Structure 1
Amino acid sequence: MRRLPAFIALVVILAGLVVGFGFQFNGSDAYPDSEAIGEEYSTHVGEKAHLWGEVVGIEDGSVVIGFEGLRLRVTAPKPGTVAVGDQVQIYGTLAPDRQFETTAYHAQSPADRTYMYGVSVLGSLLAAGAFLRRWRIDTDEWQFVPREGT
């Protein structure tokens, strides 16, 4: 029972660190964010940008990616390589007329995210099963002890 307060304290500290990091880190200040670009697009033309958005459609043979208050036609990915609803991370240069000259990108479909989470859950269950196969929880002293006969 002595270990329970220490375990709870460590979990609270860990949660505080995770929340604190999330609160402090709002992305890199090296590039303008989508809100700043959307408010004054013409002042950002020619600048490098690194943005995350969602494919919202195809216009004039270009993929259109939507961000918070901003829509851009990008040079890459090309139509047919992504679908509406895919999440896309792009890096490149802002061009006139809400065009984006893409240098690099990464697209992730909803099916990719489902697969990623499914594999993570399966791996966690397998790891927990392998651990609990050789160890058990002693509820009298709240600790892990080896199973008898293993």
Structure 2
Amino acid sequence: MTQEPFGQFGRTVAAGVLLAALLGLMVWTGASPVTPLESDVPNEVDVTSDREAYVGERVALGGFVVDTDPVVLATWASGDGQFTLVDADAHVQNSDEPLETGDHVTAYGTLEDESTLVVERATIQQPSETRYMVLVSLLGGLWVAGRFVRGWRFDFERFAFVPRDRARSRDEAESTDRERSDADRAANARARDEPASVTQDGRSRSSGGERRA
């Protein structure tokens, strides 16, 4: 039997560390801009809370279009945190169509005043792209989960996932050992119940020791 280097305690600690890392990455991703054009410039989280401090600077604002004449961007899902985008339609990089209400946009440019952004470039995240990403992720997750369930099972004795083939082989070996043990016990019981034994010359001797012809 192969000795596991860390045992059950090591597996538990590793699972806890991985789970904490996963939750930390989820929180970090949710707190960062959705599609930042520039990683080293202030984003909508910084600018919306202190607009005056960023007037005249280059910033990247992400949010939803709530009006198109002129184009107005809301950085909060509730519709608050609005900025007017100047020349936004002319600087969209991944679409030839004008912006529409509900489009998710990230715009980079200079904050002209506390509510106006002069756009230098912008990108649109289409709803179909989000649906495609979610669908592909869901199908990929289900496929991986199915392969895992078919190939592995949880061993409560070892408190670990083990390959199903290995577990099946171990169960078959244990079953064979039990059958062999039962057969040995039955053979010993029959041997104890037999009244006579056989001598070296092949003739039968009775239990009383008399020799028969």
* 3-state SS, counterpart of residue 50 of structure 2: helix
| Structure label with greater radius of gyration | 2
Identity of aligned residues (%): 29
Change (3 A) 1:21 1:73: closer
Aligned pairs for 1:10-29 (under 5 A) are 10-11=17-18, 13-14=20-21, 17-18=24-25, 21=28
Change (3 A) 1:70 1:13: same
In structure 1, runs of 5+ residues without a counterpart are none
Match status 1:117 vs 2:134: yes
Aligned pairs for 1:127-138 (under 5 A) are 127-138=144-155
The number of equivalent residue pairs is 142
Aligned pairs for 1:88-127 (under 5 A) are 88-95=105-112, 98-127=115-144
Kindly indicate which of the two structures has a greater share of residues assigned to helix.
2
In structure 2, runs of 5+ residues without a counterpart are 1-6, 34-38, 91-95, 169-213
* Preserved CA contact (<8 Å) 1:55 1:85: yes
Shift of 1:99: 4.0
Match status 1:50 vs 2:67: no
Match status 1:75 vs 2:110: no
Distance 2:41 2:126 in 1: 27
Change (3 A) 1:19 1:122: closer
Specify which of 2, 8, 18 is matched with residue 2 of structure 1.
8
Higher relative contact order (CA 8 A, sep 6+): 1
> Which amino acid in 1 is paired with 2:157?
D
Normalising by structure 2, we get a TM-score of 0.52
Match status 1:141 vs 2:158: yes
Q: CA RMSD in A?
A: 3.6
Kindly indicate which of the two structures has a greater share of residues assigned to strand.
1
Change (3 A) 1:97 1:7: closer
